[in-house]
Structure 1
Amino acid sequence: TLGGNKATGRGPLQEEPQEGDFDSVSFLSRGKDLCDPAVKQVYGYFSGSNGRRLFFWLFESRSNPAKDPLVLWLNGGPGCSSMIGLFLENGPCTINEYGNDTKLNPYSWNTRANLLFVDQPAGAGFADGPPVTNGSFGAADDLYMALQEFFAKHTQYRGKDFYITGESYAGNGHYVPAIGHKILRENTIGIEPHIPLRGIAIGNGWMNAAIQVLDYPEMALQSCTAPHIATRKEYEYIGLYNVYDMRITFKDGSTGDIGDPRLERYLNRRDVQRKLGVHKHFESCSNVGDFSIDGLTPTETLLPDLLDAEIRVLLYDGDQDYICNWIGYEHVANEMDWPGRDAFLRAPRYEYEGDDGISVGLLRSIRWKKKGMFGFFQVYRAGHLVPTDQPEAALLMINDFIDGIMGPVPFTTTAESGNNSSEL
């Protein structure tokens, strides 16, 4: 089937758009028989600069689409498709074991939010066109153009809170903070349509290489599964461990990757591609140009401007990820130069519990000014893909972040006018 969670049968195929016919490809809305048949979906292409096109897939909220916020999800790489997030992490459905159908995900982030996935930059997933030439900031320019087009055509989202989320390269600042900062800058000078950015959540990010590489030995020593790579000689054999999840080992010496052959099998089916209006061989991760220098650029420097504008910022990390480990990531959060640094360093860590009273992670957060927030969340028993490893905890996290309750109630906060205690 096309992924409509049916045992038999085949959904109707739509007339295939012609190459170059942008109007027939942009903003397709073709029923409810893909992935989650119970919600309205819109998919198609956004226009970028220089002939680049970014593929998107929007799922309305399962709760109250008219009132719920809009959440954008971006995968990293650079060059990895956000279809990884959709089908393997926090989307409305997941790929079955054979890669020929989907099943509903009860922990999808569209449980209480309208959820938007975008393949970007050009070359990633179904996005096409010439590669960007100036790294993440060029990618941010294209994504900003795409979001402008989205909000111009989908006016119902202009009055809703908008959140940008992502992980790895997306989370490391080379996508999420870059586009967040771009939106803030354009909003400040009055560019329309105004994009109502409310917060960003950055998972397992690589924000400052100079800081984070220094914590690899510490992470190896603290882990009960990775002490064997603590010496230089044994470090050469790091391939025995999945650097995205230290609980997994490989006998073939590979370090694993983020993609999944089931995803590529499903999204390369002719009937699925015709339904989506795409004409491209799908790969989970692709070469999207030279981002080598870009990856060394510290990007936590973009966050203070967002915090000053009272935009919420949450950094989160799975405690079993080695490559983007929580020790180095928290080190970046601690060293970030901003007016709230001292208050953040003084804030206590506390166990973050689910509805069943079981702790799902360790949180430290402060409120900033009246509406802002900065927090660091260490997620227990999760690797590089937190929503995959701990889907229930990830859903709790994003819902609480949107609701503004990622913190003790009440908890110590700080503002330019002085300290106070308040519920976030």
Structure 2
Amino acid sequence: MRLTSLLLSATTAVVVVAAGRDVGHAGKLHKAFAEARKKTTVREPVMDQILDRRASAPLFLNANTSKFAVNGTGIPDVNFDVGESYAGSLPISSDPNEESNLFWWFFPSTNPDAKKEILIWLNGGPGCSSFEGLLQENGPFLWQYGTFKPVHNPWSWNTLTNVVWVEQPVGTGFSTGKVTATSEEDVAKQFMGFWRNFMDTFSMQGYKVYIAGESYAGLYCPYIASAFLNAEDTTYYNMSGLLIYDPSITLDVVSESIPILAFTEYWGGLYPFNDTFRATIQARDAKCGYSAWMNKYLVYPPSGPQPLPFPGSDENGIPLEECVNIYWDIFDAISLINPCFDLYQVATTCPLLWDVLGFPGSFSYMPEGSSVYFDRADVKAAIHAPNITWEECTSKNVFVNGTDSSLPSHIKALPHVIDKTQNVQIVHGALDMILLANGTLLGIQNMTWGGKLGFQTKPNWPFYVPYNDFTTHSNLAAAGVFGSMVTERGLTYVSVDLSGHMVPQYAPSAAYRQLEFLLGRVDCMNCTTPFTVDKGAPQSSQPLGLGTAPQAWSEAGGGKNCSRKRSAPGRKLRK
């Protein structure tokens, strides 16, 4: 529960915590502060009303949907009502003999602003289940790493809009059939067949459709969204906005190898290498030309298109092993220093927490006596799932021969969606090493949309997360200035402080604000407008200052040359 009397200037992220947290071990001053906090007046939590709100009658129950209905009080290990939901399989085409299906779980929203709209959530991989997002990011109940049992999620996206979590492509999670996809174009075509069947089942013709996802969904989402737009059919494919987290939008060498040295030097305290190793990787980086490339091309406005071949490549454009492996040599080195190092959130240290999905970050770890939640027979029965082995990320190929032949999405699919919808967000966690924020920005600065190449101004507007009374000890989240951002020509980029790869998991309040912006519920994210479901919460009255992710501001991507000059004064971002 937040202390509403301590609304500071909020130039850095402020963690929302419950009054009276035990900090006695930290000394007398901390004890005195804890006692003072206990005496502070607080507002009653408002999310209790939202979590308990249920429709007077089911919103989507009919003859077509009844077989998919899930008992909201019958979810194994969940000791509260998750509300109305539906789950099951639907084919990827209208062919009555179609044998391939996608599995999904749909949670309607009782929010009065959610009428005639639906959001699709996709995880990445390729081949990773979107139920990872449902259970540990933005679903109605959460079971996070190392925690005892599922809990309410006050940041569930279905408190804002109707949301369906879809396991795709074929071969992912509970989605069954023959894998035939060779490209993102194939994935999009199959998804469109499924989506038409889903819309008919729930009589959602004409609904606005929003698509969101993360990681490899930086390919899935833009390609599917672009195919929706190309269909020119607003009855089934009324594509209205796109939100992608820590996305794969460019080549791996750009997302990982080129920016990795600058990343480790910016976060030097998390990468405490000895002088010998640091000198070695610096020399290799210089030989490969990576930092020089960053200096030249991670600038605002762009210095020009990034030519091929990329630095550190042979005459055929193939990355040299000594160059591209700087990334993996750094991973090996930090894993010796920090044996619990997590590529998904680089501030993670030991102990290694168990994960009910079987994969806590960089490791697969299940302690004796534990089980994978969605592979349990009682869970499968509750959600009408087929009796097959469920894996968070499939061990089988979801593309024929394991190869996705499509071009990176920043070349064509993503610009198409930006230009057509004028409503696209790319969000990146600052502590993600799976895909680096500066790699994503290099991809953006090499992308043409709205008739121009890249962002013309640095992403140094303050990203503000409203103060609120949503959380308890089981679902803490942050508030205040919590990153940096910029909006130009229909594209918004946001960097989120203290977040790893899965922003809705590590920074759920930040993701909630981004969803409100995507849906058009708020028209700014660098302003102090409260959450739409907590309009009475007091907000900061002090100047917000600049954003707080300077690794993306300097030309080299590091901290030494950071400019703190504001690039744009605007507060209204939808232009």
Same fold (TM over 0.5): yes
| d(CA) in 2 for partners of 1:26, 1:53 | 19
Q: Are positions 1:166 and 2:188 aligned together? A: no
Correspondence for 1:64: 112
Q: After TM superposition, give the deviation of residue 257 of structure 1 in Å.
A: 3.7
SS at match of 2:210: strand
| d(CA) in 1 for partners of 2:90, 2:106 | 12
Structure 2 residues without counterparts, runs of 5 or longer: 1-62, 282-325, 353-358, 468-478, 528-569
Residues 447 and 453, structure 2, Cα contact 8 Å, conserved in 1: no
SS at match of 1:247: coil
| d(CA) in 1 for partners of 2:146, 2:503 | 23
| d(CA) in 2 for partners of 1:70, 1:264 | 32
After superposition, the CA RMSD in angstroms is 3.3
| d(CA) in 2 for partners of 1:54, 1:362 | 37
- Identify the match of residue 128 of structure 2 among 77, 80, 83: 80
Q: After TM superposition, give the deviation of residue 163 of structure 1 in Å.
A: 0.8
Residues 221 and 227, structure 1, Cα contact 8 Å, conserved in 2: no
Matched AA of 1:211: V
Matched AA of 2:229: L
Matched AA of 1:271: D
Q: Are positions 1:322 and 2:433 aligned together? A: yes
Q: Are positions 1:130 and 2:130 aligned together? A: no
Residues 162 and 196, structure 1, Cα contact 8 Å, conserved in 2: yes
Residues 132 and 139, structure 1, Cα contact 8 Å, conserved in 2: no
Matched AA of 1:37: D
The 3 A distance-change label for structure 1 pair 235 and 43 is closer
Correspondence for 1:300: 410
Q: Are positions 1:195 and 2:237 aligned together? A: yes
The 3 A distance-change label for structure 1 pair 264 and 146 is farther
Matched AA of 2:85: Q
The 3 A distance-change label for structure 1 pair 61 and 264 is farther
SS at match of 1:282: coil
SS at match of 2:236: coil
The 3 A distance-change label for structure 1 pair 68 and 379 is farther
Q: After TM superposition, give the deviation of residue 129 of structure 1 in Å.
A: 1.1
| d(CA) in 2 for partners of 1:96, 1:205 | 22
- Identify the match of residue 361 of structure 1 among 483, 486, 505: 483
Which deviates more from structure 2 when the two are superposed, residues 44-53 or residues 336-345? Answer: 336-345
Residues 246 and 427, structure 2, Cα contact 8 Å, conserved in 1: yes
Correspondence for 2:333: 237
Q: After TM superposition, give the deviation of residue 400 of structure 1 in Å.
A: 2.0
Q: After TM superposition, give the deviation of residue 386 of structure 1 in Å.
A: 0.8
Q: After TM superposition, give the deviation of residue 123 of structure 1 in Å.
A: 1.6
Q: Are positions 1:395 and 2:512 aligned together? A: yes
SS at match of 2:455: helix
- Identify the match of residue 260 of structure 2 among 216, 220, 223: 216
Correspondence for 2:444: 333
- Identify the match of residue 119 of structure 1 among 138, 163, 167: 167
> What is the count of residue pairs matched by the alignment?
380
Residues 184 and 406, structure 2, Cα contact 8 Å, conserved in 1: no
Residues 95 and 103, structure 1, Cα contact 8 Å, conserved in 2: yes
Q: After TM superposition, give the deviation of residue 289 of structure 1 in Å.
A: 1.8
Matched AA of 1:248: T
Which deviates more from structure 2 when the two are superposed, residues 312-321 or residues 291-300? Answer: 291-300
Cα deviations by residue, 1:204-227 (Å, 9 ceiling, x for unpaired): 011111432321222222223136
- Identify the match of residue 41 of structure 1 among 63, 80, 85: 85
Residues 264 and 284, structure 1, Cα contact 8 Å, conserved in 2: no
Identical residues among aligned pairs (%): 24
Residues 121 and 132, structure 1, Cα contact 8 Å, conserved in 2: no
Q: After TM superposition, give the deviation of residue 186 of structure 1 in Å.
A: 1.4
Cα deviations by residue, 1:237-296 (Å, 9 ceiling, x for unpaired): 3545311111124699x9934878599632222222112122122111103426554288
Residues 197 and 311, structure 1, Cα contact 8 Å, conserved in 2: no
Correspondence for 2:71: 31
- Identify the match of residue 272 of structure 1 among 367, 372, 379: 379
- Identify the match of residue 347 of structure 2 among 247, 250, 273: 247
Q: Are positions 1:344 and 2:455 aligned together? A: yes
Larger relative contact order (CA 8 Å, sep ≥ 6): 2
Q: After TM superposition, give the deviation of residue 361 of structure 1 in Å.
A: 1.5
The 3 A distance-change label for structure 1 pair 96 and 317 is closer
Correspondence for 2:424: 313
Please state which structure has a larger fraction of its residues in strand.
1
Correspondence for 2:356: none
| d(CA) in 1 for partners of 2:176, 2:66 | 13
Cα deviations by residue, 1:126-184 (Å, 9 ceiling, x for unpaired): 111112331332222211111111112222x33432110000111x22x1111111111
Q: After TM superposition, give the deviation of residue 62 of structure 1 in Å.
A: 3.9
Matched AA of 2:71: G
Matched AA of 1:28: F
Matched AA of 1:284: E
Q: After TM superposition, give the deviation of residue 422 of structure 1 in Å.
A: 6.7
Q: After TM superposition, give the deviation of residue 297 of structure 1 in Å.
A: 3.1
SS at match of 1:39: coil
Q: After TM superposition, give the deviation of residue 100 of structure 1 in Å.
A: 8.7
SS at match of 2:449: coil
Correspondence for 1:413: none
| d(CA) in 2 for partners of 1:382, 1:423 | 23
| d(CA) in 1 for partners of 2:420, 2:443 | 21
Residues 109 and 160, structure 2, Cα contact 8 Å, conserved in 1: yes
Correspondence for 1:386: 503
SS at match of 1:177: helix
